[in-house]
Amino acid sequence: MRWFDSHCHIDDDFYQDHRHEIIQECQSQGLQRMLVAGTAPQYFVKQVALCEQFNLDFALGIHPWFIDSDAPEMLEQLEQAIEKFKPQAIGECGLDKIKGASFDMQKDVFRAQLKLSQKYNLPVVIHSVKAHKWVIEQLQSISLNRKGVIHGFYGSKEQAHTFVNLGFKLGIGPFLCRATAHKLHDVVKHIPLENLILESDSPFGQMNRKGIMQPTSPLSIIEVAKKIAELRDITVKQVAEVTFESTLDLFS
């Protein structure tokens, strides 16, 4: 089976001492593609160098947690990096009502990145925490050619359908494997499989292993796929193939 982790942070220092081994293990188990999401301009050079070394896909963007008072300069640096490094997507970018810069500043920076998506014809990787209403408003006001993915989706079935109708994929991660994630279970049962893509958010996703919450690795997407297969009463192979092709199409 072929696997594509649509969202990870394998460049994070968490992996500093065992990054090569993790990537080798992933490749040996059929994880053919990984997209490394960006967070802020000060990390782009390191991120891109790593992705070039291991032949990984990558996105460049300004995460709402990393926005500071120099937001205009950050956006200028982002555009320069897009032109220089030619990423597969813009992100992760978006809105967060729990953490990050002021919400007004987040909206300005998010909208600017959506415009960069238009300009460079790139899909977007969107971070949306307690902010689906505002994200939807922005996506309805700016017509994107390439659309993108709602990373770590956790919302209602109605919100899921709205994003799908706007042309977006839903990134489904380790949270799905929690017994208490009833709302997300319902979404996964009813949204067409081709609109779901797998993500680990490693190492920041949390997977319950024998009662202990542990950081994820990119291979966590296999456990996510097994849960999707269980909820939809289909085979894991079906989940692997459909999500691989959908993710490949999104970021190619």
Q: What is the pLDDT of residues 138-159, one digit of tens each?
A: 999 998 999 999 999 999 999 9
Check the CA dihedral 228-232-234-239 and report its sign: negative
- Residue 214 has a pLDDT of 73
Cβ(189)–Cβ(219) under 8 Å?
no
pLDDT at 207: 65
Strand pairing report for 57-60 and 31-36? parallel
Which CATH number describes the domain made up of 3-251? 3.20.20.140
Query: Is the N-terminal amide bond of 87 cis, ω within 30° of 0?
Result: no
pTM over 0.75: yes
- 191 neighbors 140 (Cβ within 8 angstroms): no
Q: How far apart are CA 100 and CA 64, in angstroms?
A: 5
Contacts of 237 (CB under 8 A, 6+ apart): 1
Question: What pLDDT was estimated at residue 57?
Answer: 97
Mean pLDDT for the stretch of residues 108-128: 97
- Percent of the chain clearing pLDDT 70 (strictly above): 97
**What does the pLDDT read at residue 170?**
98
Nearest C-alpha neighbor of 36 from the set 154, 143, 151, 178: 151
Q: Residue 129 pLDDT > 80, yes or no?
A: yes
pLDDT attached to residue 208: 64
Output the pLDDT for position 211: 59
Q: Averaged over 30-53, what is the pLDDT?
A: 96
Mean pLDDT score across all residues of the chain: 94
pLDDT in tens, 183-237: 999 999 999 999 999 999 999 877 666 555 577 889 999 999 999 999 999 999 9
pLDDT in tens, 70-105: 999 999 999 999 999 999 999 999 999 999 989 999
